[in-house]
Amino acid sequence: MPHLNPTDAIRPAHVEVSLGAIAQNYDAIRAHVGTASVMPVVKANAYGHGIVEVARHLMNHGAPCLGVALLEEAIVLRQGGITLPILVFGGVATRQIPQFIAHDLMMAASSIDKLRQIDEAAAVVKTKARVHLKIDTGMERIGVHWYNAEKLLEASLSFTNVEVAGIYSHFANSDSADLASAKEQLARFFEVLEFYPKRGLQPPQRHIANSGGILQLPESHLDLVRPGIMLYGVYPSKEVPHTVTLQSALSWKSQVVYFKVVQPGSSVSYGGTWQSDHPVRVVTVPVGYGDGYFRALSNRGQVLIRGQRHPIAGRVCMDQFMVNLEWGTAYNGDVVTIIGSDGDETISAQDVADWAGTIPYEVLTNINSRVPRVYV
């Protein structure tokens, strides 16, 4: 997505991303975790903020490496001039291995068969492929079970064309008030890691801490931490302590494009789910579920106009929604804040998630490429 100024955007809607806020959050995380390295996670278009722009800014800011979910995301970064080490967290299909090697990407390895395939592919091009061994300590997603991990670790020492650069796991419940299961996962991970000192070996880079772990499990910081949503100024849940002060990096704004007075008993939007028993002023905003603004926000969501909160009236359409001003004032061209601040009022990604019955991760990653990004 090209850099745009708000006045340059063709449509009257844009997302504003503060790269400075992201850098400040990175610095706050780095200060919090002491000697551990920080791997910014930029998957899912950097949680909706723009993968190449965010990665480039963090690279220039001194980040040592990056994490993504998919091979395609990593290739986009390489094509965008990102030269940092990149770890792809997701499962690796055999046909993808040559692409990982060609683009100098680190991949997750969770089986001896996969290590063998990686070793053979690296031998063909006379290089060493870098992997991080993935251990499943309780997520039941990808990774070798912790109780079967020893054979994988033993085998990983024998492949001459594979460099084991790291070993990692992932918390399932580190953003909960009850940390019992997260602590159990961490204990299982430590049990796996005993493989190395028992053989007089230095372990590769060890990591398990995501945003929740960074915030409330300091014993999980180890050699590397992987901040995702907190990097963008959003806490992973309402249950975590704010042990790191964060700045929100994203605001979503549009404009009023139509104003009308709706008479009593006249229905607004599809399905006729909203009407008033008295005359009200209603404005139209050119954003809809086609942009990633959830239809579940119909008759539930709120926006800010002229520093005042106003509710959505009727169903969210694919490209537009309507707002009930009651008898408030607005003019065509007035700024509509969907996420962000206006005057003394703020709508956060968490607020939108609460109204839609989801989580802020989904709110941010759902804002699609129809919405221009503006970098400040």
φ/ψ bin of 140: left (φ > 0), alpha (ψ from -120 to 50), beta (otherwise) = left
**DSSP state at residue 296:** G
Catalytic residue flag (residue 43):
yes
Catalytically annotated residue among 147, 258, 270, 331: 270
C-alpha distances in Å from residue 107, one per residue of 88, 101, 160, 169: 5, 9, 16, 14
Record the tokens describing residue 233, joined without a space: 């100024």
For residues 215 and 242, what is the distance between their CA atoms, to the nearest angstrom? Answer: 7
For residues 51 and 366, what is the distance between their CA atoms, to the nearest angstrom? Answer: 14
Bridge pairing between strands 302-305 and 280-285: unpaired
Catalytically annotated residue among 43, 114, 134, 253: 43
Crossing angle of helices 19-32/51-61, nearest 10°?
50
Catalytic residue flag (residue 270):
yes
Q: Answer whether 66's CB lies under 8 Å from 86's CB.
A: yes
**Amino acid of residue 137:** T
The per-residue DSSP string of 50-113 comes to: -HHHHHHHHHHHT---EEES-HHHHHHHHHTT--S-EEE-S---GGGHHHHHHTT-EEEE-SHH
Q: Answer whether 331's CB lies under 8 Å from 256's CB.
A: yes
Active site residues: 43, 270
